[in-house]
A and B are shown apart, each in its own frame.
Chain A
């Protein structure tokens, strides 16, 4: 269906080869997963399929890409619209209409299809994607998962043979991600559509993939079945790391397979006695009956909690549960209807200037919002000046976080992980008493996530600080957090030690704990530590 023959790609004004001599044949009805470190060219590969690269971006393409016998050299991306549906990284950026129904009609209208055909196809697509109840809603008011479904539906109305998705689940909570993935599974199996998708969170998608294309970042690619690629790939979901750590001969890609493979292991390890956690002292953040309401809708409903020194608190919950509202309320910049937040008995909303920098550090969802200088080094100088600290401090922090970062690079041109590193070093250079991060792992690969985890744990430990992090990433929470606050519909529905909260909910349990259940281990590290402790 999709044929890459000896494809090489170089972008203009760049000496780096994105792809080198890739030959790949994707059959009809195959689900192919593209993986690789951040900035390795996954999106470029996806966009080669319908010719957006190089028609839209420029660049030198050698070799040929053809879809269903049509070469992308000869037609523009629009000429392939009936054949290929493409869903971008952030579907909201690609919507052209206001309501769900109009959005679905858009591509059919521009292809001049008859109104009765359009009506039929829209009804089909709405039913298939369970969007019927949302048909006349404003797209901007939908949740992330719903938007993703609308984007897929508006590609499906064209009856495409190929569907291309760039990180379809990265912004979604585990449950919404599950929904989107099961829809993709159905498309492949019931309609025989060929699906190509890129994703960082392998633990979510690997079970669905027929084949994996691994891009290593300097143009080399590796193509194989998931189990072949996972034998050697440095990017791997936790269960693969578990299999490697336990020295299993086989690698299981699903929880079911891994349970089968670890049966003997699980029988031999006895669950160690868990020492009761120390009771925390020294409160840092005191949230006192905070209510946040926007018009008639309530984002937070009289929420109270106390966060202590040394704690890393993960705020979890579905999209729209009130996580961001809680974080901005803690930082004292959000809109708060009633209630108060105190940080070390200072009211957080009254903080300003240098005192604010020394009290709260906040990394917003888009770390680049914090950046405005023209180069990395200027950004660091500015931060030194703002924080009234010794010149060079921020740069020193940055060098620790992201070693080898080029000083003259423009912040926009950094990779996702590097940009987060820069924002983080600006915030950390003033050594705030509380660090807050809103969805920091969107678009980060495993390596970058590991670095982030290490930094945050060190920060909390060395300086006795409190860290609050909102995330959908269950595996990150398992590795990082000491405590989880679970929000639903503006209320705190669970608040406790990570292990208790995560194990209590099947949707939010990490992979390792599902494999090793009933033993209470969340990470590969926990399992290995328990094995070592065996007499």
Chain B
């Protein structure tokens, strides 16, 4: 498929409309279908840029969210009547916590309702993750008006750092592996988080200093070297999104 050169807002609007549709319908089938659609779009349209790689991370993140959410949904909460799958021992709770129950019978109904809610939430995350991996954060920033100075600096820094952090993560993990440490388990996350936080802090300060010394925010007006234009494909995609949203 040919790569389209689109306005940076296009995929974000599309994702927003799709997300509204998914949330309104609340149907796991629609949610899974929309994840499929976003997946196809991402794999055919993304560039070979650092932020494009963030999509697979979004997938991993939402998979773990789905797992945790389903687990909690099944073990904690009000009993749902229905076909019994299996029973867990019930954790005794003090009498001032009535209505809350940990463990107990796991019914098909309870499992499916927990799963389908989880799937919808994950679909929303994936839809926006896809938009982020399809759009260059720098381009997105260029269309923001200059009077949102502080906000835009924060956006540039976070959006350009997050993809770079993906690179840093693998670099730091490699280093820890070299120190003979396992890269699995809770402890490895702590060991990863500290260098990562420090590095991102240092890098954001660097970037802010660089933007400052290049005159960012001095002039209220900003000219455009190659103006980003809204073209026909942009309108088509946005229209498509609106249509999906209203139909839902």
Please determine whether B203 and A93 come into contact, CB atoms closer than 8 angstroms.
Answer: yes
Give A8 Cβ to nearest chain B Cβ, in Å. 22
Give A307 Cβ to nearest chain B Cβ, in Å. 18
Contact with A along B210-226 (1 / 0, CB 8 A): 11111111110111111
Residues of A within 8 A of B141 (CB): 96
Contact with A along B177-188 (1 / 0, CB 8 A): 111111000000
**B181-213 CB contacts (< 8 Å) to partner A:** 181-182, 190-192, 194-195, 198-199, 203, 205-213
Please determine whether B195 and A77 come into contact, CB atoms closer than 8 angstroms.
Answer: no
Interface residues in A, total, Cβ within 8 A: 68
Give B102 Cβ to nearest chain A Cβ, in Å. 35
**B101-160 CB contacts (< 8 Å) to partner A:** 136, 138-139, 141-142, 146, 156, 160
Q: Which of A50, A101, A112 contacts B219 (CB 8 A)?
A: A112
Residues of A within 8 A of B58 (CB): none
Residues of B within 8 A of A115 (CB): 223-225
Residues of B within 8 A of A108 (CB): 223, 225
Q: Which of B48, B172, B218 contacts A138 (CB 8 A)?
A: B48
Q: Which among A351-359, A396-404, A453-461 touches the partner chain?
A: A351-359
Q: A97-B138, A111-B218, A138-B49 known; A364 and B178 CB under 8 Å?
A: yes
Q: Is A74 an interface position by the 8 A CB rule?
A: no
Cα distance A79–B212 when bound, in Å?
Answer: 9
Residue of B nearest to A93 (CB): B206
Q: Is B68 an interface position by the 8 A CB rule?
A: no
Q: A115-B223, A115-B225 known; A110 and B216 CB under 8 Å?
A: yes
Please determine whether B225 and A372 come into contact, CB atoms closer than 8 angstroms.
Answer: no
Q: Which of A98, A102, A371 has most B Cβ within 10 Å? A: A98
Cα distance A9–B62 when bound, in Å?
Answer: 49
Please determine whether B180 and A78 come into contact, CB atoms closer than 8 angstroms.
Answer: no
Residues of B within 8 A of A333 (CB): 174, 177-178
Give A411 Cβ to nearest chain B Cβ, in Å. 9
Cα distance A88–B172 when bound, in Å?
Answer: 23
Q: Is A86 an interface position by the 8 A CB rule?
A: yes
Residues of B within 8 A of A372 (CB): 176, 190-192, 194-195
Cα distance A224–B205 when bound, in Å?
Answer: 33
Please determine whether A52 and B212 come into contact, CB atoms closer than 8 angstroms.
Answer: yes
Please determine whether B49 and A96 come into contact, CB atoms closer than 8 angstroms.
Answer: no
Q: A364-B175, A370-B179 known; A110 and B214 CB under 8 Å?
A: yes
Q: A94-B206, A96-B210, A426-B179 known; A102 and B225 CB under 8 Å?
A: yes
Cα distance A118–B223 when bound, in Å?
Answer: 10
Please determine whether B215 and A111 come into contact, CB atoms closer than 8 angstroms.
Answer: yes
Please determine whether A98 and B215 come into contact, CB atoms closer than 8 angstroms.
Answer: no
Residues of A within 8 A of B60 (CB): none
Residues of B within 8 A of A81 (CB): 213-215, 218
Residues of A within 8 A of B160 (CB): 96
Please determine whether B179 and A93 come into contact, CB atoms closer than 8 angstroms.
Answer: no
Residues of B within 8 A of A101 (CB): 225-226
Residues of B within 8 A of A113 (CB): 223
Cα distance A93–B142 when bound, in Å?
Answer: 18
Q: Is A362 an interface position by the 8 A CB rule?
A: yes
Please determine whether A354 and B136 come into contact, CB atoms closer than 8 angstroms.
Answer: no
Residues of B within 8 A of A77 (CB): 209, 212-213
Residues of B within 8 A of A158 (CB): 215
Q: Is B50 an interface position by the 8 A CB rule?
A: yes
Please determine whether B182 and A110 come into contact, CB atoms closer than 8 angstroms.
Answer: no
Residues of B within 8 A of A371 (CB): 195
Cα distance A112–B207 when bound, in Å?
Answer: 21
Q: Which of A50, A154, A334, A386 contacts B179 (CB 8 A)?
A: A386
Q: Which of A78, A334, A366 contacts B215 (CB 8 A)?
A: A78
Give A120 Cβ to nearest chain B Cβ, in Å. 12
Q: Is A106 an interface position by the 8 A CB rule?
A: yes
Contact with B along A81-112 (1 / 0, CB 8 A): 11010101010011111100110011111111
Please determine whether B212 and A369 come into contact, CB atoms closer than 8 angstroms.
Answer: no
Knowing that A94-B209, A364-B174 touch, tell me 14 more A-B residue pairs with CB under 8 angstroms.
A96-B211, A98-B136, A107-B216, A112-B221, A112-B223, A114-B223, A328-B174, A333-B177, A353-B182, A357-B180, A369-B172, A370-B176, A370-B178, A386-B181
Taking beta carbons and an 8 Å cutoff, which residues of B are in contact with A? 47-50, 136, 138-139, 141-142, 146, 156, 160, 171-172, 174-182, 190-192, 194-195, 198-199, 203, 205-219, 221-226
Residue contacts A-B, CB under 8 angstroms, 18 given: A52-B209, A52-B213, A77-B213, A81-B218, A86-B213, A94-B206, A94-B209, A96-B210, A98-B136, A105-B225, A108-B225, A110-B215, A110-B217, A158-B215, A334-B174, A355-B180, A360-B178, A372-B191
